């Protein structure tokens, strides 16, 4: 086996050498791919792959807007993608070089069109929902067997939040996800861009503010898994990861994920090519490689996120395709909403509101 590995590595090295200076630089979210795919890409195309990771849209956006990022493929989320397209950060895809586009799933691509009209600049990589993760044991112990673990009222109803504060509540530090959730709880349009409507969420957050341990976009994975907190409003894949970590640790903690029954936000991570990409040809080769049904399935099977590739579904393991938390039923899918980006003025109002909610100032 070891010998086999050595030969393989040598072959890859030789092939990379033969392809001379061809290399493609990909900038993706951390823990978001099966790394075996990276070696497979190099072996198949002979292009050297340089793979870097980031952990927030804001960091990616700052690099793109500063210009000269040096990346050939980047993976922003939908709302960020839309604004970056407007800023002129991406180039249109050459669809003649992407034969695997036929594998894509219209259920997803019809939704991503609102960020990227005609999907001219991007392809979908993964998508998911923003919902509620709970430590089932602790929450039912406090609120009883009929605790509303699939409802936004679990967190936004101050009576519930007050009781759950004892075991800990965390929320994403991402106003673009949390304010739509609060609007949904109020029965308002979650995609509202009206500062007056958005302002209605302030009292909702202020009422539960004393009961929230922290606003943070990644700490809740560990905190849920080891029992430091019992409720988190966060991203589907992250909470499922916490569920699996708790199961692996065998610490008696059972984590459950639910997209809120009132309606939950659906988000998309899109692959796109920066306008100043050094290797446009290689970038297309990478996108086409990722859209291959088996490759995309391998990525989803590894990270437990749904993808926008219909042809890949037959290669998905039952754990992924059969889990309604990852692939919601048709009915549940209709209950998901999407949002569009705020303009600079509304964004400033929202950030200011969010700071006020977090710090009381």
Partner 1 sequence: MRRFILIAVPFIWLMALFLVPFAIVLKISLSDIALSIPPYTPQLDLTEGWAGIKAFFAELDFENYVFLTQDQLYWKAYVSSLQIALISTILTLLVGYPIAYGMAQAPDEWRATLLLLVILPFWTSFLIRVYSWMGILSNEGFLNQFLLWTGLISTPLVILNTNTAVYIGIVYTYLPFMILPIYAALEKMDGSLLEAAEDLGCSRLTAFWLVTIPLSKSGIIAGCFLVFIPALGEFVIPSLLGGSDTLMIGKVLWEEFFSNRDWPVASAVAVILLLILIIPIVLFQRNEQKQREMDQ
7 Cβ contact partners less than 8 Å away, ≥ 6 residues apart: none
**HSE-CB of 314 using CA atoms within 13 angstroms:** 4
The region of 33-41, 58-66, 187-195, 281-289 touching partner 1 under the rule CB under 8 A is 58-66
Residue 191 binds partner 1 (CB under 8 A): no
DSSP state of 343: P
Q: Is 227 in the site for partner 1 (CB under 8 A)?
A: yes
30 binds partner 1 (CB under 8 A): no
- Near partner 1 in 108-167, by CB under 8 A: none
Please pick, from the candidates 17, 67, 203, 322, the single residue that binds partner 1 as defined by CB under 8 A.
67
Nearest distance in Å: CB 99, partner 1 = 31
**Is position 360 an interface residue for partner 1 (rule: CB under 8 A)?**
yes
Residue 344 interacts with partner 1 (CB under 8 A): yes or no? yes
Give, in degrees to the nearest 5, the angle at Cα 171 between 299 and 177: 65
Residue 62 interacts with partner 1 (CB under 8 A): yes or no: yes
Using an 8 Å Cβ cutoff, are 61 and 84 in contact?
Answer: yes
Taking CB under 8 A as the criterion, the residue among 131, 168, 237, 308 binding partner 1 is 168
Q: Are 258 and 131 in contact (CB under 8 A)?
A: yes
- The alpha carbon of residue 298 and the mean position of all alpha carbons in its chain are separated, in whole angstroms, by 17
Interface pick for partner 1 out of 30, 110, 340, 351 (rule CB under 8 A): 351
Give 69-135 as a DSSP string: ---SEE--BHHHHHHHHHTT-B----GGG-GGGGGB-HHHHHHHTTTSGGG-SEEEEEEEEEEEEEE
Check binding of 214 to partner 1 (CB under 8 A). Answer: yes
Question: Which residues inside 77-96 make contact with partner 1, applying CB under 8 A?
Answer: 83, 86-89
- 261-280 positions binding partner 1, by CB under 8 A: 275
d(CA 269, CA 28): 10
Q: Smallest gap, in angstroms, from Cβ of residue 176 to partner 1?
A: 9
For position 206 contacting partner 1 by CB under 8 A, the verdict is: no
Q: What is the DSSP string of 159-195?
A: HHHHHHTTT-EEE-S-HHHHHHHHHHHHTS-TT---H
Choose, by CB under 8 A, the member of 34, 157, 173, 323 that binds partner 1.
173
- Give the footprint of partner 1 on this chain (CB under 8 A): 56, 58-59, 61-62, 64-67, 83, 86-89, 168, 173, 175, 212-215, 223, 226-228, 275, 344, 347-348, 351-352, 354-355, 358-361
């Amino acid at each position: 086996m070891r010998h086999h590995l050595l030969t393989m590595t040598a072959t890859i090295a030789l092939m990379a050498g033969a392809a001379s200076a061809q290399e493609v630089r990909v900038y993706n979210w951390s823990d978001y791919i099966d790394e075996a795919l990276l070696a497979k890409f190099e072996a198949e195309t002979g292009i050297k792959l340089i793979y870097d990771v980031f952990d927030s849209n804001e960091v990616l956006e700052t690099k793109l807007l500063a210009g000269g990022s040096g990346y050939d493929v980047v993976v922003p989320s939908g709302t960020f993608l839309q604004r970056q397209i407007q800023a002129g950060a991406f180039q249109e895809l050459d669809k003649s070089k992407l034969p695997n586009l036929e594998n894509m799933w219209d259920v997803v691509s019809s939704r991503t069109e609102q960020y990227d009209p005609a999907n001219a600049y991007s392809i979908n990589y993964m998508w998911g929902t923003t919902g509620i993760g709970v430590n089932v044991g602790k929450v039912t112990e406090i609120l009883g067997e009929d605790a509303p673990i699939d409802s936004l009222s679990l967190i936004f109803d101050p009576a519930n939040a007050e009781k759950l504060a004892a075991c800990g509540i965390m929320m994403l530090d991402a106003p673009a996800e949390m304010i739509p959730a609060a609007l949904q709880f109020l029965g308002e349009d979650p995609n509202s861009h009206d500062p007056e409507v958005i302002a209605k969420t302030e009292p909702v957050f202020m009422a539960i503010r004393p009961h929230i341990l922290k606003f943070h976009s990644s700490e809740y994975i560990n905190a849920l898994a080891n029992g430091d907190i019992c409720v988190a409003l966060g991203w589907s894949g992250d909470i499922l990861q916490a569920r699996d970590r708790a199961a692996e640790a065998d610490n008696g903690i059972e984590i459950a994920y639910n997209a809120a029954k009132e309606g939950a936000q659906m988000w998309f991570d899109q692959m796109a090519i920066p306008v100043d990409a050094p290797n446009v040809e290689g970038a297309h080769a990478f996108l086409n490689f990722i859209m291959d049904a088996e490759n995309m399935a391998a990525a989803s099977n590894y990270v437990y996120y749904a993808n926008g590739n219909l042809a890949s579904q037959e290669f998905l393991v039952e754990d992924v395709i059969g889990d309604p938390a990852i692939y919601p039923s048709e009915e549940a899918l209709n209950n998901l909403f999407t949002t569009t980006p705020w303009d600079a003025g509304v964004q400033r109002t929202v950030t200011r509101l969010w700071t006020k909610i977090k710090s009381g100032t």
